Chains A and B, each alone.
Chain A
Amino acid sequence: MDDSQTGNRSLQILIADDSDSDRLILKTLLRRLGHDVLDAANGVEAVELFRHASPQLVFLDAMMPQMDGMEAARKIKALAGERLVPLIFLTSLTNADALVSCLEAGGDDFLTKPYNRVIIEAKINAFNRMRLMHETISQHRDLIHEHNRKLTEEQHTAKRVFDNIAHTGCLDADSIRYHVSPLSIFNGDILFACPSPAGGIQILIGDFTGHGLPAAVGAMPVAEIFYGMTAKGFSGSDVLREINQKLKRILPAGMFCCAAMIQADFALNQVQVWNGGLPDGWLVRQDGSRRSLPSSHLPLGVLDATRFDATMTVIQAHTGDTLMFMTDGVLETESIQGEMFGDRGVVTALNELKGEVHPFDAVIDRVKAFSGGLLDQDDLTLVTLDMAESEVLGSLSEEVPLSALEGPEEWHCVYELRDRTLGQFSPLPLLLHICMEVPALRRRSGEIYTLLSELYTNALEHGILGLPSEWKRTADGFGHYYAERERRLSNISDHYITFRLTHSMTDGGGRLVIVCEDSGRGFDYHNHAGTTGPGRGYAGRGLMLLQRLAGSLTFRERGNHVEIVYDWHFSEADPAEGVAVTQHGGPS
């Protein structure tokens, strides 16, 4: 920083005047005031001196040979660029037009000859103040630009980090359509989707209160929990409970996450939904009818674990049905007239739905039209999920690298759940985890999960709770079934489910034997095959699935004891590639 900026104040001043005497007078005067003076006898010299010395203040005689003051003024202002260099014309002119043209050429003021020392001093001080102020403002502006540039850059870097953790999962699946604003994460919106080992899909859409970094920070653990738990086979409820507990612990009071969870089980033709604080979701059926899925819970991160309710609503949904959820950015989209899109906008879009138009397009097109063609709001997230035929089982396992033969080969384990725990805890993730210790089973995780989960569901719902699967064949019965399941679960006593898992190596592969036994009354399995046949109900489908996946399925005792033998072979190396590699015997 030079002295001139600290206020006191020796300035470097350029003076240009073709009159030697006038120049000497002014030069002497300015030197006495303590300034450093450069002098030029014409415009050309003045411009050259300015170029090399960059003085802070310039006095120019208006009339000079070679290059007059006006021309020199224009050149000097151009050289100064953004810097404010006060430029004062020296003139004996008095006519207004001449004075005006001085100012128009870029001059800031003029001084008339003969000089008055007091006025010159006052003008220099005044212009110096202006110059300093301009410098300060320029610095602040540059600082703000720099901060803004850094912030944007940081956001983009943070977004890349975030994308690595909170990757979009399987949002690119054919059955999912979505709109997310590019940097929406910094407005607190989240959207994740992950295939579950059972072959279904779980989707979490949410909206944190607040904006910017605080909102984005909360999204990180949510993503970790969601992907980690879903891939391990935890249900939507379990994932919600865990996320809620985490957010309750880490978020300050007053910050929370409005969210909806969708758990789609394609094989069962059912979806489970949970809406805590998001706008109404919709199930649009193939026949055009629809059902709203309103928020019936507090947002995530508000209630502590004991009061949090993660109960999901179970709904029957078939191929061709579409589920839709959105964040409130959709409803808050404003028209040019300042009106809000609102629930009404969504309902109107769905009412006018016809023919082949997908509900996603219907709503997003209407939002676009409403807002004047733009979707520039940063916190607008919309997702739809189409119910489909059973997805290919084990789509997850393809991502697991095939490791060498490490891990347990010969083992046996017994796991028994009793009473209250039956209603509160799913043993499936744990059992799947145990099986996944066998490397060759990892790429079959989808099948293994399905075996375990079908056995468990049959044991719990039919064996212990005694729920008749026929109920689920009608829409009304379906609701009744799940209400009754909930009621009976809360009254379980003196019951158990036992899993016995045994794994051993065979010639060319391995064998996993799963025995599932429950304390229920069992059923008449001798006649069962006949009664289900190519059954349409869920029970029929469940058993068929087990039979298709496992080499053998055996009922024992009173039908409460089911044994499955699942054989695998090295030669089924990678079902995804469809190439059979025969590897008899030991590790390659």
Chain B
Amino acid sequence: MPIHTRRSEDGQTLIIKIDGRFDFSTHQAFRDAYEHGDQDIKGYVVDLSDTTYLDSSALGMLLLLRDYAGGDSAAISIENCNSDVRRILAISNFEQLFAIR
């Protein structure tokens, strides 16, 4: 399974980690990862430390998560991107929508 989820220690942040390619094939798994979460989740971390590739449908999925998490008021950070992934996020100017670390 290329997608793993866990809670932060205080239980309020859901950490979603994607291994390998983040593209359309992970669509359902990515949605499942956050849609079955509890109500007490306050924020999300998308951990891309082991993500090798990210395509435009993955950008779409990030927007879906943002929508789910409250749109403009969503607290989502995207962490540990490699340089290729970071570049794709930069071209799309996603730093305007997400905290990218």
Contacts and interface: CB of A to CB of B under 8 A. Distances in A.
Interface of A: 207, 209-210, 253-256, 258, 276-279, 294-299, 302-303, 328
Nearest to A302: B63
B56 A207 contact: yes
B39 interface: no
A258 B91 CA distance: 10
Contacts of A277: 91-93
Nearest to B88: A328
Interface in B23-79: 24, 56-57, 59-61, 63-64, 66-67
Interface of B: 24, 56-57, 59-61, 63-64, 66-67, 90-94, 96-97
B60 A210 contact: yes
Given A209-B57, A253-B63, 5 more contacts: A254-B61, A256-B60, A294-B91, A295-B90, A299-B92
Contacts of B93: 276-277, 295-298
Nearest to B87: A343
A213 to B, nearest CB: 15
A165 B56 CA distance: 26
Contacts, number: 46
B97 A253 contact: no
B92 A279 contact: no
Contacts of A328: 56
A253 B92 contact: no
The 5 closest A-B CB pairs, nearest first, are: A254-B60, A253-B67, A254-B64, A277-B92, A209-B56
Nearest to B91: A295
A253 B96 CA distance: 16
B57 to A, nearest CB: 6
B22 to A, nearest CB: 13
12 contacts: A209-B59, A210-B24, A253-B67, A256-B60, A258-B56, A258-B92, A277-B91, A295-B90, A298-B93, A298-B97, A302-B63, A303-B96
A253 B67 CA distance: 7
B58 to A, nearest CB: 9
Contacts of A299: 92
B60 A298 contact: no
B92 A254 contact: no
Contacts of B61: 254
B60 A295 contact: no
Contacts of B97: 298, 302
Contact of B64 (A207, A210, A253): A253
Nearest to A295: B91
A276 B96 CA distance: 12
A256 B57 contact: no
A337 to B, nearest CB: 17
A254 B67 contact: yes
A296 B60 CA distance: 18
B94 to A, nearest CB: 7
B86 to A, nearest CB: 14
A278 B93 CA distance: 10
Contacts of B64: 253-254
Contacts of A298: 92-94, 96-97
Contacts of B63: 253-254, 256, 302
Contacts of B60: 209-210, 254-256
A295 B91 CA distance: 5
Contacts of B24: 210
Contacts of B94: 298
B5 to A, nearest CB: 19
Given A209-B60, A254-B61, A279 B67 contact: no
B56 A295 contact: no
Nearest to A276: B93
A294 B57 CA distance: 21
A25 B64 CA distance: 73
A560 B90 CA distance: 46
A276 B56 CA distance: 13
Contacts of A254: 60-61, 63-64, 67
Contacts of B59: 209, 256
* Most interface-central of B24, B56, B96 (chain A CB within 10 A): B56
A276 B91 CA distance: 8
Nearest to A253: B67
Nearest to A275: B91
